[in-house]
Chains A and B, each alone.
Chain A
Amino acid sequence: MTETQTQPALKAKDYKSDIKPVWCPGSGHFAVLSALSKALAHLALKREDVAMVSGIGCSSRLPAYTEVYGFHGVHGRALAVAGGLKAARPDLTVIAAGGDGDGFSIGGNHFLHACRRNMDITYIVMDNEVYGMTKGQASPTTSPDWSASKLTPHGPGVPSFNPAAIALASGATFIARGFSGDPNKLTQMIVEGIQHKGFSFIHVFSPCTTFRPEQKGWKKQVHEYAEEVTANPVKTAQGLQADDGMGTGLIYRTELPPWQPAYDAICEPSALEKEFQV
């Protein structure tokens, strides 16, 4: 190949599609899309070798807005689709994305098992502590006294769920927390998550200014995760309890072999018929 034929390096915008997002102005999801496209450009991944998989929700619309292969499935099953795809196609970079309802409520079981299966997948959850798409109901991360939904007029009344702690308990090997209001840090986090060999969980505070306008105040509440970052789950568990839940940055990273079937064919189906012949 001669000099003039080499492809120019792709820019972040080359990883965005021409489809206009359905998101409300001010939604944190725009910044996540932009951080993701920057991360893909930084890693110089071939667009056709990346697959974005999601479930249902405002956040789950993300795949169509990227210029990589996408699968927009049903509510809560993004990690299952992503797991099957990665198992069958280990050559692809597989990224799953969605909301807090999608990932922690209806898809909660898959979240646990994706963490412990430790396949080489990156999972980005855009947490707005609300069901945006269905117009503002409480999610597992909503605080117990949030009473703005008609469905829970007294607030959910149930302690909210700590995704990073659950991921740690379930065996995830990379856990980080980000904020859509700090896109540079988020980009770096996504880069590291994709580079990590194994299941990387990136929990992103991504405000819903329509149903949770008070989340505009998150800017002031988030802070650098101040606890020690180790590969020791006991220390990390203690750190997560000490943190107020708004600390952003890398929380935990360890190296464990990802689960991935090996593919070496040794025969054709006809060879298997012998077992049945008499």
Chain B
Amino acid sequence: MKQEYNFSRRFFLKTSSALGALAFIPRGVKAFYEDVKNYIIPTKEQIPLKVSINKKSYAIKADTRTTLLDLLREDLNLTGAKKGCDHGQCGACTVHIDGQRVLSCLTLAATLPGKEVTTIEGLANGDQLHPMQEAFIQCDGFQCGYCTPGQIMSAVACVNEGHTKSVAEIKEFMSGNLCRCGAYNGIVESIQKVAAQ
């Protein structure tokens, strides 16, 4: 099964505009393009990067195709951000970049220099849990815990953004973070609790 997501992102970026144009080109040409594509094996490129994560700076060499999520999980052993889809459809990989909630699976590592990334591992203040982390424990805002780091990063942003005026508003602004365990009761309660502080 040849599916788009299976192609390298770099390759996809390079060729997507060409592909767009191909939509208007006769079938034979498209097939030819498909053939050619299989014979050009792009060599992988690694670029030196300086990134700042949880206020710690890292000088690394990263594959140009590497997402922030894979950089965190595979290269830096910061596995708090979760991979739930790798497609920007679930929110499990939510981190903060310069204070804004962002899907790390849709963010290329190469775009990070000059920005500050905060992951769930950087949320607590020393040995003091972030109030949202405490609230999630108290309100049992999780079951399996896999969506939880993403929920908490989104929840912190949701409060900062001021979208906590009603249960309906919290639910709306937390709907980019799926929880298959359905721990939504506790998630909403946690946010209400922190918003009220």
Q: Do A and B come from one complex?
A: no
